[in-house]
Amino acid sequence: MATKTERRPACGSWTRGRVTAALCLLVAVLLVFPGLVPNTPGRVGSLLETFLPWLGLAVPVLLALALLRRSPLATCAVLLPAAAWCGVFGGLLLSGGAAGELTVVQHNISDVNPDPAATARALAATDADLIAVEELTAPALPAFEAAMAAGRPHHATRGTVGLWSKYPLTGVRLVDIRPKGVGEGWNRGLRATARTPHGEIAVYVAHLPSVRIGPATGLSSGPRDESARLLAEALAAEPLDRVILLGDLNSTLDDRGLEPVTSLMGETGPGFAFSWPAKLPVARIDQVLARSATVTRVRTLPATGSDHLPVAAAIKL
């Protein structure tokens, strides 16, 4: 009888922590298949996808619960979300790849930047071949033209977006990504051909509409999603094979709202490079994407006077 009594706790320990184990399974499924979460109401699915890497914080919490319950079942189950997170995001922790033939910088400089001239000088001091900016106001434009003139004499601006380049730019035109109901003065997209030593490359600069998060509405991203579809139409019609997209897309690449764009472009390189908000970055909404080329690494640069961090990337052609 003593032997049977001693075995019962061991058997019972595997029945403890079933709720925690179920939560482990749920987190693992959400990490691997976030698309299972519907976008209505409140675009909950897009909201989850925007901050998906942070779901990994559930792993140490679940492990603590499993240890508190002294549950072998729950402790083993914690391996599921841990493995899922590593499978989805582990590659971003790798060191950067090859330097590539081009270096680019993308930065939303903020239309309320207290010192745009200092921001312009900071960007000009980088070794970037191409520099794209958004929220470029008319008063800030002269400072950027002056700072960039020596190293990047070629530039193009349309509305509040601009592109500076070491190489000649041709075929510059506005890309209309205005959502319905937005006036003609709202210009946030341009396209140019960069004539590099490695051949011609179509370069797009875009600033998609902002999203809003509220307790009643959830994630409000309708205008952003519509603008993304218009940008995707322009990218799909682009005749040049090699394309680089630089822009503040106002979401992470996991957000299904950007799928029309991301489905036409290649994957980004290693590095989380969280760019927003600058004081405590939690997401990379400033993106560098390429087609018929490879983004080999992505990183953030030191803060400027903007609420975004600059993002630098290496591109292998």
221 CB-side CA count, 13 A? 26
Lowest mean pLDDT among 58-62, 66-70, 180-184, 273-277: 180-184
When pLDDT is averaged across residues 132-155 and rounded to a whole number, the result is 98
pLDDT of residue 8: 52
pLDDT of 68: 93
pLDDT beyond 80 at 219: no
pLDDT digits (tens, 9 = 90+) for 23-63: 999 999 999 999 999 988 778 898 899 999 999 999 999 99
| pLDDT in the model for residue 269 | 83
pLDDT, average across residues 208-215: 81
Q: 130-134 and 161-165 as β-strands: parallel, antiparallel, unpaired?
A: antiparallel
**pLDDT at residue 127 tops 90:** yes
- Percent of the chain predicted with pLDDT > 70: 93
Q: What is the pLDDT of residue 211?
A: 84
Length of the chain: 317
Distance CA 268, CA 106 (A): 14
Q: Which two tokens stand for residue 44?
A: 């909950």
Say whether pLDDT at 243 is over 70. yes
Q: 271 pLDDT band (50/70/90 cuts)?
A: confident
In the prediction, which pLDDT does 213 show?
A: 73
For residue 209, pLDDT beyond 70: yes
Q: Is 90 exceeded by the pLDDT of residue 267? A: no
42: left (phi over 0), alpha (psi -120 to 50) or beta: left
pLDDT at 15: 75
- Which pLDDT does position 218 carry in this prediction? 61
Looking at residue 100, its pLDDT comes to 84
Q: What is the pLDDT of residue 251?
A: 93
Instruction: Provide, rounded to the nearest whole percent, the portion of the chain with pLDDT above 90.
Output: 81
Tell me, what's the pLDDT at 26?
Answer: 97
Contacts of 274-279 with CB under 8 Å at 24 or more apart are 274/300, 274/309, 275/300, 275/308, 275/309, 275/310, 275/311, 276/307, 276/308, 276/309, 277/307, 277/308, 278/303, 278/304, 278/306, 278/307, 278/308, 278/309, 279/303, 279/307
pLDDT tens string 277-289: 999 999 999 999 9
pLDDT average, residue stretch 229-253? 97
Inter-helix orientation angle 58-69/18-32, to 10°: 160
- Whether the pLDDT of residue 266 is over 60: the answer is yes
